[in-house]
A and B are shown apart, each in its own frame.
Chain A
Amino acid sequence: MPRRVIVTAEAAALIGRLKQQHGPLIFHQSGGCCEGTAPMCFRQRDFRIGQHDVLLGVIEGCPFYVGEAAFRYWAYIELTIGVVTGGSDSFSLEVADGARFVTRSRLFDDAEAAVLDAAEPLPRGPQALATMTSGGC
């Protein structure tokens, strides 16, 4: 099953450090303005997930959600979460340490898309956290 969201080694290391510093984390990517259209990383307790947020995947044990309206356009995109130094200011936790998560996109090929089409729909809402199998964040 192709994974919809994956991380670079550098991003994985950064997530590990942020987890140690802040506790369980959550990622959400939206579509707008300034520092938007890039993944936002918050403490899980600081961001409320709604019924219209889709659990795209799990990275380093942390849930990665996107808004349902945005997800419509991402159905066949593989997101790779990477890191750069020096992003613009944002509420995302890594910014205070001089880093910024960034997204790189790849369109799934026809074979991958077919597998995804046949799969179960993605879970939605905070209850989807209970379906995460690869250990808590």
Chain B
Amino acid sequence: MPDDQTRTFVWNAAGQRERYDNFIGGKWVAPVKGRYFADSSPINGKILAEVARSSAEDVELALDAAHAARDSWGRTPPAERARMLNKIADRIEENLELLAHTETIDNGKPIRETRAADIPLGADHFRYFAGCIRAEEGTLAELDNDTVAYHFKEPMGVVGQIIPWNFPFLMAAWKMAPALAAGNCVVIKPASDTPLSLAVLMDLVADVLPPGVVNVVNGHGSEVGAPLASSPRIAKIAFTGETTTGRQIMQYASENLIPMTLELGGKSPNIFFADVMDADDAFLDKALEGFALFAFNKGEVCTCPSRALIEESIFDRFMEKAVARVARIKLGNPLDPSTMMGAQASHGQIEKILDYINVGRQEGANCVIGGERAHLGGELEDGFYVKPTVFVGHNKMRIFQEEIFGPVLSVTRFKTLDEAIEIGNDTLYGLGAGVWSRNGTTAYRVGREIKAGRVWTNCYHMYPAHAAFGGYKQSGFGRETHKIILDHYQQTKNLLVSYSPKAMGFF
């Protein structure tokens, strides 16, 4: 735990190991080839732990353990599975500070966010699906006097899950909770640069689940993710990540004819109608925060509101207040509870962001704030910090079309409601959108026209369970964080039963 919250930190507190293997069959198992990689912190570049650099052989061991547990877990009564999911939630809540600290150190996101959002939302996800599975029912229909169709939901068996580095803990919860609730055994691969919060969680819940129900294989995408996704031993693959890899996952899935759900990228528009400035009140204040939310999780969110569309008639006045709001964003050591924006996740990520800032300038966009790396000095000088950046331009620029995945906002203007919709939809993606208006009819009409799976209306960046989340277009398919995801983790078994003693008369 940090001995001085604003300067240094100590890894290897109680609950944090110096080395993590793979969690297979209820225990830690060394990687078959004995290779490890160093996981470091983007806060200051220091090494945190050694982690298993697994390969296809380790994926096979995990699948062995999952298959060994499969039938028994599948037959466990829903109430019993729910009890265990609630127990996992209990353990998460009891260890909130440990998990929040781990997540902050490994990913670079502010401790304010891990304490208030990532970890509590993760716990809640297990509770939500514990509830859903107890309330789940199949159906039956009496087709005629002698024939009844019974529909049962059954687990798929063993599923593969590959999660990204931007919300390591929460993405693990989003994937694991419904899969386990539905009675499946899981082989999950966390991102190699952010493996720690899931590893710490497994230590906390090792005694809760039967061995083999959850198996964690650490390592890199090409060495672990590819063999997992292309394995004929999984019944389904779930992936959250980038577009080209999403295509590759689909190709692997096609080899084995298995279903998949994909959550890919976004270039979400945040649309501000003139009426938000009708009064200088709490709602305007909320809208200004909404504008600044491109900096949430340092912009490393698939749903980052990375485009802002502002109605022409309020453009200058709104921008004056909005940019002032951005100027107040406090960048700093993510372990400082007053820090609003932390470190970008890696060297590769910050290089990409800086290139896009350069692209924006070359394209002729006007940088109104930020636009460069931040040097925080001292111990943080080797960390990956970028100033929150706002460009003004038009929607055909690359910085309006491509996902930067950093704290860079591209702002443009619109004149009419139709133009707002047109610009909003002029993107390859369709994951999120924000609509801000005091007029409920305007907000509703625009929200229904935007081709995105999640339209935040007079809010943004809220991820409660029981609100469906997923993409249109190149953002992928399938909906998470709602009980409809259970359909993606279950088979429907139709027992078509005849109570007639007589032959049909064919043969």
Residues of A within 8 A of B (CB): 28-38, 40, 42, 46-48, 67, 69-70, 73-74, 77, 82, 84-93, 95-96, 98, 100, 102-107
Contact = CB atoms under 8 A, between A and B. Distances in A.
Interface stretch (B279-287, B319-327, B402-410): B402-410
Given A32-B266, A33-B266, A105 B358 contact: yes
B481 to A, nearest CB: 17
Contact of A105 (B225, B362, B396): B362
B474 interface: yes
A49 to B, nearest CB: 10
A44 to B, nearest CB: 12
B59 interface: no
Interface string B330-359: 000000000000000111110110011011
Nearest to A32: B265
A32 B165 CA distance: 14
Contacts of B192: 89, 95
B220 A96 contact: yes
B253 to A, nearest CB: 12
Contacts of A73: 396-398, 401-402
Given A32-B429, A33-B405, A89 B191 contact: yes
A90 B242 contact: yes
Contacts of B223: 96
Contacts of B428: 31-32, 69-70
B231 interface: no
B346 A92 contact: no
Contact of A36 (B53, B244, B347, B363): B244
A34 B429 CA distance: 14
Contacts of B247: 30, 47-48
Contact of A28 (B244, B347, B362, B398): B244
Contacts of B194: 88-89
Given A34-B164, A46-B248, A107-B362, A96 B222 contact: yes
Contact of B242 (A33, A47, A104, A105): A33
15 contacts: A30-B247, A34-B165, A34-B166, A34-B300, A37-B242, A37-B405, A38-B352, A69-B474, A73-B401, A86-B346, A89-B194, A91-B245, A95-B222, A100-B348, A104-B355
Contacts of B348: 35, 38, 84, 86-88, 100, 102
B114 interface: no
A84 to B, nearest CB: 5
Contacts of B302: 32-34
A30 B242 CA distance: 8
B165 A31 contact: no
B453 to A, nearest CB: 14
Contacts of A36: 241-245, 264-265, 403, 405
B251 interface: yes
B193 interface: yes
Which 4 A-B pairs rank lowest in CB-CB distance, beginning with the nearest?
Answer: A32-B265, A87-B348, A36-B242, A33-B265
A89 B242 contact: no
B402 A46 contact: no
Contacts of B412: none
Contacts of A30: 242-244, 247
Given A38-B348, A73-B402, A106-B362, 15 more contacts: A32-B265, A32-B475, A34-B166, A36-B241, A37-B405, A47-B247, A69-B428, A69-B474, A70-B428, A73-B397, A90-B241, A91-B222, A92-B221, A105-B358, A107-B363
Given A32-B265, A73-B396, A96-B53, A37 B403 contact: yes
Nearest to B229: A91
The listed residue with most B CB atoms (<10 A of its CB), out of A35, A42, A98, A106, is A35
The listed residue with most B CB atoms (<10 A of its CB), out of A84, A91, A107, is A91
A102 B265 contact: no
Contacts of A106: 362
B477 interface: no
A89 B166 contact: no
B349 A88 contact: yes
A98 B37 contact: yes
A82 B240 CA distance: 26
Contacts of B244: 28-30, 36, 40, 47
Interface in B233-273: 240-248, 251, 264-267
A70 B222 CA distance: 24
A32 B248 CA distance: 14
Given A30-B242, A32-B264, A32-B475, A87 B349 contact: yes
A103 B128 CA distance: 42
Nearest to A97: B220
